[in-house]
């Protein structure tokens, strides 16, 4: 017998943009849980035998599908939708790509590259990048959000004040996310699930992976949030901390330039030290390395640091 307060939505029940005029495919009451089966960010266009040559055939009209929208009863403009993350059900398949024109160092990596991942869905072992590199996994959802107050179709690609393509790896099991409600019923959608990602997702992709997840909804009346906020259930980098980090920096008056320089220097370090091609090093650091603003008060220069977990190679 099915649980009366648990619902299921499937991968084909998706759309490709935020639009307040979309009809909800499900209505739930506060306190109810929904199991979502999410397609990956390419909408199933890659498979275990895909190669870099397949990137040229990508249909960008099918990129970043999100499952929904879900109407949450009682949610009104000015409220917050409280989303509690339950269990994830990873598929065991994933991909990471360097897509020409996309990513922090797009000007330096103009050619397509693709890495196909096969990992244990129980997440008990790291995913192999090569015979040398192993990436610990932490499933999360990259795109999660609500319809905007403005009418019309809004792209799902950028993050927005009501959520969207946030790519925050800590939106994982046990976390609680609060999203500003701007339309009646909130109109919630989710997708872009990842098996692992570094803070910054610097090459533009993580370990993109179809998977299931469970979310429970509540409404916080009169919250008047200006942007999303969230809580985590505990430490957020425990899966990466055991062996410490290699760290490179970018220093100067522009944060974007500093971020690019910190990543460039890490790519150079990883490629030269471990015999990887530059593009492989770029994709690898995207799925497990973290960009951090280390200093932003000592004018005129700021410090951006890039942390790469040493356990990936040990």
Q: How confident is the model at residue 169 (pLDDT cuts 50, 70, 90)?
A: very high
Is pLDDT above 60 for 4?
A: no
Q: How confident is the model at residue 2 (pLDDT cuts 50, 70, 90)?
A: very low
pLDDT (0 to 100) of residue 64: 96
Quick check: 106 and 167 in contact, CB under 8 A? no
Cβ atoms < 10 Å from Cβ of 253:
10
Cα gap 195→127, rounded to integer Å: 9
pLDDT digits (tens, 9 = 90+) for 28-45: 999 999 999 999 999 999
Nearest to 217 by CA among 79, 65, 51, 48: 79
What is the bridge-based pairing of β-strands 290-295 and 93-98?
unpaired
Q: Cα 154–160–162 angle (5° rounding)?
A: 95
Mean pLDDT for 239-252 is 97
In the chain, % of residues over pLDDT 90: 97
Quick check: 13 and 25 in contact, CB under 8 A? yes
Mean pLDDT for 178-198 is 98
pLDDT (0 to 100) of residue 240: 96
Nearest to 225 by CA among 76, 78, 82: 78
Mean pLDDT for 146-163 is 97
pLDDT digits (tens, 9 = 90+) for 54-105: 999 999 999 999 999 999 999 999 999 999 999 999 999 999 999 999 999 9
Mean pLDDT for 236-255 is 97
Cα gap 304→255, rounded to integer Å: 7
Q: How confident is the model at residue 5 (pLDDT cuts 50, 70, 90)?
A: low
pLDDT digits (tens, 9 = 90+) for 246-297: 999 999 999 999 999 999 999 999 999 999 999 999 999 999 999 999 999 9
Choose the weakest-confidence range: 69-78, 112-121, 124-133. Answer: 124-133
pLDDT (0 to 100) of residue 116: 97
Q: pTM to 2 decimals?
A: 0.95
Q: How confident is the model at residue 226 (pLDDT cuts 50, 70, 90)?
A: very high
CA distances from 188 to 10, 223, 243 (A): 15, 17, 39
Is pLDDT above 70 for 1?
A: no
Give me the count of residues in the chain.
314
Is pLDDT above 60 for 136?
A: yes
Q: Domains along the chain?
A: 6-231 (2.60.120.580), 245-313 (3.10.28.20)
CA distances from 196 to 57, 90, 215, 264 (A): 25, 11, 19, 21
* DSSP state at residue 307: E
């Amino acid at each position: 017998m099915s649980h009366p307060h648990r619902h299921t939505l499937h991968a084909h029940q998706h759309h490709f943009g935020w639009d307040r005029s979309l009809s909800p495919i499900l209505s739930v009451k506060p306190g109810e849980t929904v199991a979502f089966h999410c397609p990956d960010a390419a909408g199933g266009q890659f498979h275990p035998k895909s190669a870099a040559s397949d990137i040229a055939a990508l249909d960008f009209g099918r990129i970043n599908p999100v499952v929904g929208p879900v109407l949450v009863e009682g949610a009104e403009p000015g409220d917050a939708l409280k989303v509690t993350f339950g269990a994830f059900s990873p598929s065991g398949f994933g991909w990471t790509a360097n897509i020409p024109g996309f990513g922090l160092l797009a000007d330096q990596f103009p050619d397509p590259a693709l890495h196909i991942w096969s990992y244990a869905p129980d997440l008990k072992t790291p995913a192999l990048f090569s015979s040398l590199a192993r990436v610990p996994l932490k499933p999360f959802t990259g795109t999660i959000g609500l319809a905007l107050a403005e009418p019309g179709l809004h792209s799902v690609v950028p993050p927005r004040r009501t959520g969207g393509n946030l790519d925050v790896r800590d939106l994982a099991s046990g976390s609680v996310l609060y999203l500003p409600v701007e339309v009646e019923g909130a109109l919630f959608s989710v997708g872009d699930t990842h098996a692992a990602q570094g803070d910054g997702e610097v090459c533009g992709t993580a370990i993109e992976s179809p998977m299931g997840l469970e979310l429970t909804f509540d409404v916080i009346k009169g919250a008047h949030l200006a942007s999303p906020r969230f809580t985590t259930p505990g430490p957020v980098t425990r899966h990466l901390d055991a062996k410490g980090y290699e760290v490179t920096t970018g220093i100067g008056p522009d944060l974007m330039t500093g971020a690019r320089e910190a990543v460039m220097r890490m790519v150079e370090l990883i490629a030269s030290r471990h015999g990887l091609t530059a593009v492989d090093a770029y994709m690898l650091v995207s799925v497990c390395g973290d960009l951090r603003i280390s200093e932003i008060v000592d004018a005129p220069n700021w410090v951006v640091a890039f942390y790469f977990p040493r356990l990936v190679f040990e």
